[in-house]
Amino acid sequence: MASSAMSPTTSTGRGCNYMVRGTAHDGSGEPRAVYVGGVGGIIPAVAPGQFAAIRRRFGNEGAKRQGIMGYISFSREELDPDDPDAGLKALRIGQRLVNKQYPGHPALLAVQRDGVGGLWHVHFLVSAVSDRDAVHIYRRKPRKGEQPEPDGLIEQQDARAAGRAVSSAMTNAWRLQHTVDSVLADEEFMQSIGLTAYDNEALMEERRVGMADRATAAELEDQHAGNDWRAHLRAVVADAQAEATSLDEYRDLLSARGIELKTRKSKTGTDFGDGVPVNFSYRLTDALGKQRNARAGGRDGIGDELGSAATLARIEQNIAPQPQPQPQPQSLPAPTPALQQAAPSFSSGLAGLRRQRDEEEHEAQTVERVAAYESPSEAVEAPEVSTAPPKATKAVSGPPVKPRRRPAPFVVETDRERLAREMREERQQPRPQTPAEQYGFGE
């Protein structure tokens, strides 16, 4: 997995000293550069003077940007750090890369392995001014109306005359890494230096996925010192994203927690509705009072989840109408089971009705006797018994008289009850006052 990076420099002389001179950073005391080489006639021992002569030749002595510095780093699986020949192979890969990425521009290269992991890596210093005519061939993304090739890119050829400065296509980090991938995938070239071609882009993608949650050495050092400002920044950003409904509100929420949101225009950024795509970076002061700057996404960023695209997606989610929850039926508590009582039988129900009827009759007879006792005393005369047939009862007009009680439904009269009823009816008839009339004998 070969990775690359580059940046401009204002002094080719300092760049040469940094690459070639000095001792190794691992404390071994050995020279820092294990192998050195050049491209376009550059000799390592006199490289600073050669770079200056090229600028004088084309009238660029006062140029602010004198060169481009960069590196290519190889993993242990690609180039064994304990194999000296692997360093020579790294130098050949670096020379091939410079010729493709910066055609016509002389360069100095130095192979080192004094890093923390002891891995082979190649530093290169390219003159900002070319010294010969050349054609820069590279692949770019298609413009509007252009038909891309199967890989989604288009081949571009730029004829460049001697004396021209490096172009934007040469100083583009994405195109540099694309050139590294193409060199490592060149089977003929890789076989010529004793290596096997491979798909470096696929290995880099696998590495990015595997190291997404891996802490860097700087993060581990801050965590050990109790100054994990990156974790604090991620937590504050997550809280602000959960509450914000606009970019301005998102900025205010961060500002209230001591974090400054900085936006910059970017073609690969996100548009928040004003037609200007932007990317995010953050500024804050850590626990030790040191000012920190962090950029979202990117190779050295602190995560895409802090970027503009992730923030806009969360804002849209916050302002979207939320579905109203449907009322859920409430479960009532189970009723306390009542004591089970045996249902009354049919015979016991009849007995109860009979007792109620007998009690009502007894109360009625008691009331009649009390009334008769309280009436004024008069001579009791025996009523005359008439033998004439009874007169027809005269119909009384008016509302019907409501019966004293309602007969019990579905009551079957037994023989005993019938006998009691007949005796009751006989008692209600006028009684004879003499024994002969009472018992039916004699005159």
Q: What pLDDT, in 10s, does the model give residues 344-365?
A: 554 555 566 677 777 777 777 6
Average pLDDT of 264-277?
Answer: 82
**Which CATH code fits 3-208?**
3.30.930
In the predicted model, what is the mean pLDDT of residues 53-70?
92
- CA-CA-CA-CA torsion sign (57, 61, 64, 65): positive
Angle at the Cα of 70 from the Cα atoms of 69 and 75, rounded to 5 degrees: 160
pLDDT tens-digit map of 107-138: 999 999 887 678 899 999 999 999 999 999 99
Q: What is the pLDDT of residue 331?
A: 62
Q: Can you give the residue ranges of every domain in the chain?
A: 3-208, 229-319
Phi-psi sector, 182: left (phi>0), alpha (psi -120 to 50), beta: alpha
Average pLDDT over every residue of 25-53: 90
Task: For residue 91, give every residue at least 6 positions away whose Cβ sits within 8 Å of its Cβ, in sequence order, or none.
Answer: 35, 37, 109, 111, 122
Mean pLDDT of the residues in the chain: 80
Higher pLDDT among residues 226 and 399, named by residue:
226
pLDDT per residue as tens digits for the range 63-96: 889 999 999 999 888 999 889 899 999 999 999 9
Side-chain-side CA neighbours of 123 within 13 Å: the count stands at 22
Closest CA to 38 of 24, 19, 55: 19
Highest mean pLDDT among 33-47, 192-206, 300-314: 33-47
Q: What is the pLDDT of residues 365-417, one digit of tens each?
A: 665 665 555 554 444 454 454 555 555 545 545 555 555 555 555 556 777 88
What per-residue confidence (pLDDT) applies to 270? 86
Q: Assess whether pLDDT exceeds 80 at residue 42.
A: yes
Instruction: Evaluate the CA torsion angle 70, 75, 78, 81 in order and state its sign.
Output: positive
Q: 430 pLDDT exceeds 60?
A: yes
Calculate mean pLDDT across residues 45-55: 95
Specify the pairing of strand 107-112 against strand 121-127: antiparallel
**161-164: long-range contacts (C-beta < 8 A, 24 or more apart)?**
161/130, 161/133, 162/58, 162/104, 162/130, 162/131, 162/132, 162/133, 163/57, 163/58, 163/129, 163/130, 163/131, 164/104, 164/129, 164/130
Is pLDDT above 90 for 301?
Answer: no
Query: What number of CA atoms fall less than 13 Å from residue 335's CA on the CB side?
Result: 3
In this structure, of 54-63, 71-80, 100-109, 200-209, the range with the lowest mean pLDDT score is: 200-209
101-105, 251-255, 392-396: least confidently modelled range: 392-396
Least reliable range by pLDDT among 64-68, 229-233, 253-257: 229-233
